[in-house]
Amino acid sequence: MYSAEDLKELVEKSLRGMQYPNDHSDLYTPVTYSLSIGGKRIRPILSLLSCNLFTDRILDKCILPATGLEMFHCFTLIHDDIMDNADIRRNHPVIHKKWNVNVAILSGDAMCIESYKLLCHAEPTKIPDILQNFNKAALSVCEGQQYDMNYEAKTTVTEEDYLTMIELKTAALISVSTKIGAIMGEAPSADVDRLARLGLNLGMAFQIQDDILDIYADSKKIGKDVGKDIANNKKTYLLTSAIRLAKGEQKKELVALLNGANISFEEKYNRVKAIYDTLKVKDLAEIKVKEYFSAVENELKAVDVKPERKQYFKEFIDSLFIRQK
């Protein structure tokens, strides 16, 4: 059995070992930079933990496909940072700021292609199933991102709209990570489905927690700017809850803040956060996180392997919800 720490080191070693053509350094240097600035490596670790539930033989054909999941995730972050006009990620300048937007787009595209190459290192008989599931998830990420951008200009987004969006944008990739791990571990079909549902619920919980951290965390501890969601009118669980709960003058103020162009970031952040505090939407978001996390625990309990094989998996998912605030 492998702990999450063991698996993270294997993934880091795999990422460090990526080889790129020397005569195209302008394309691949930003790729190397993106992969080298750290990260929790949640998706590949979850994939390998899912595989390890069913087999101890995970090194031969599983590490590179799991690395491909991280490669794809990092690609999406590069393009997200462009669309969000972000400045830092993981306490480092984002690629489009360190180089420029064109470099970021092209290097991100190269990472997307590299992710598919890595996935194809799986056991040959499993590649069609893996790619079919991955393609569906990859398109879901794009669909979710489109919703995310569309919602920035709207003030009538509901909590249900928001949950649909994050299921596509965030949870789908985490779900396919656990599902691919189970496929590589030759899990029974019922357990493959359980782990897919586990990943989906985990992704939902993780994203809503991220919404909370964007408002209430210390930016140095989480490695990115705080308050960007408010600055960009991103629809989050906190904001959609506030839109539903706000009444009268408070509702007018919230709508005005979302639509206002001539207001500083600091003033907008402080006023929106004050509304959140009054309406106690942080508490509602934390309750929602617990609901999804409970579903994660139930799916893990139902996986048909001995309890001791679930130990490291349980420890890892528990650790995801003890993040710095």
**Quick one: pLDDT at residue 221?**
61
Q: Is the pTM of this model over 0.85?
A: yes
**Quick one: pLDDT at residue 271?**
95
**Quick one: pLDDT at residue 324?**
44
The enclosing domain of 178 has a CATH number of 1.10.600.10
User: pLDDT per residue over 228-274, tens digit each?
Assistant: 889 888 999 999 999 999 999 999 999 999 888 788 989 999 999 99
In a domain, 257, yes or no: yes
Is residue 127 over pLDDT 80?
Answer: yes
In a domain, 82, yes or no: yes
Is the distance from CB of 181 to CB of 50 less than 8 angstroms? yes
Looking at the structure of the chain, the number of domains it has is: 1
Q: Of 276, 158, 162, nearest to 214 (Cα)?
A: 276
pLDDT above 90 covers a percentage of the chain that reads: 83
Sign of CA pseudo-dihedral 33, 113, 120, 52: positive
**Quick one: pLDDT at residue 89?**
87
In a domain, 237, yes or no: yes
Average pLDDT estimate for 157-185: 97
User: pLDDT per residue over 77-109, tens digit each?
Assistant: 999 999 988 888 888 999 999 999 999 999 999
Average pLDDT score, the chain: 93
Average pLDDT estimate for 297-322: 95
DSSP string, 5-63: HHHHHHHHHHHHT----GGGHHHHHHHHHHHHS----HHHHHHHHHHHTT-S--HHHHH
In the structure, what pLDDT confidence band is assigned to residue 75 with cuts at 50, 70 and 90? Answer: very high
Residue-number span of the structural domain to which 259 is assigned? 4-319
**Quick one: pLDDT at residue 42?**
97
Is residue 123 over pLDDT 90?
Answer: yes
How far is it, in rounded angstroms, from Cα 200 to Cα 95? Answer: 29
Instruction: State the alpha helices, DSSP H only, in 85-122.
Output: 95-98, 101-119
Instruction: State the alpha helices, DSSP H only, in the chain.
Output: 4-16, 25-36, 42-52, 59-84, 95-98, 101-119, 127-151, 159-166, 172-184, 189-216, 219-222, 228-231, 237-245, 248-259, 265-279, 281-302, 311-319
**Quick one: pLDDT at residue 222?**
58
Least confident of 81-85, 108-112, 307-311: 81-85
User: Residue 89: what are its φ and ψ, rounded to 5°?
Assistant: -145, 135
**Quick one: pLDDT at residue 63?**
96
Q: Which helix H or strand E contains 92, and what residues bound it? A: strand 92-93
In a domain, 325, yes or no: no
User: pLDDT per residue over 212-240, tens digit each?
Assistant: 999 998 766 655 568 888 988 899 999 99
In a domain, 80, yes or no: yes
Q: Of 308, 54, 303, 310, nearest to 196 (Cα)?
A: 303
In a domain, 324, yes or no: no
In the structure, what pLDDT confidence band is assigned to residue 143 with cuts at 50, 70 and 90? Answer: very high
From the centroid of its chain, how far is CA 285? 17
Average pLDDT estimate for 114-127: 97
**Quick one: pLDDT at residue 325?**
45
**Quick one: pLDDT at residue 220?**
63
198-213 burial: b if 16+ Cβ within 10 Å, else e: bbbbbbbbbbbbbbbb
How far is it, in rounded angstroms, from Cα 70 to Cα 88? Answer: 19
User: pLDDT per residue over 51-67, tens digit each?
Assistant: 999 998 877 789 999 99
The C-alpha angle 163, 168, 172, rounded to 5 degrees, equals 115
SS3 (DSSP) at 121: coil
